[in-house]
Amino acid sequence: MTAPDLHPAVVALRRKQRAGAINRRVGWVLLPVVVAATASHYLPGDRTALGVVLVAAVVGLNTTHLGLSVYVFGLVRPRRTLKVFHIYFGYALGVVIWTSQTNLDNEPLHTYLTILMFLGIAGHLVLAVRYAARRRAAQQVAAASWGPWP
């Protein structure tokens, strides 16, 4: 079978896998931008222009990350699994990030949301690292099962 002869289901699966890989990269770019936006808000001095740019970047990256997540995972059927929890926890975290970063002048709500946001990000990262290790292990097993190329 050549590449143009692939079944549509295989093409769709590969498209979602690519979107998942891009989504993980967007998430890793989002993390330092969130930290920088929060720091620019709380550090002394006038950083209004920088803060506006960083918040706009956070909102844009967060929207992209959330949109790609919904594309890749969809609205999965609720089950008592860590994977499903991670998906819905990520969706809720996206809303908390939006709310935190768009309520900068609404204290103490912004501070409480920022604390909640960083606690959520920490939990999301722990789960993300766990799944990254599982993906890497699965790739190594798959590579080993193919054996050397002739």
pLDDT in tens, 35-84: 999 999 888 887 788 989 999 999 999 999 999 999 999 999 989 999 99
Q: How far is CA 36 from CA 11, 43, 62, 73, in A?
A: 38, 10, 14, 29
Half-sphere exposure of 80 (CA within 13 A, CB side): 0
* 3-state DSSP assignment of residue 150: coil
Number of residues that this document lists for the chain:
150
Does residue 144 have a pLDDT over 80? no
Q: How far apart are CA 30 and CA 89, in angstroms?
A: 17
**CB proximity list for 5: less than 8 A, separation 6 or greater:** none
Confidence of residue 135 (pLDDT cuts 50, 70, 90): confident
pLDDT at 41: 87
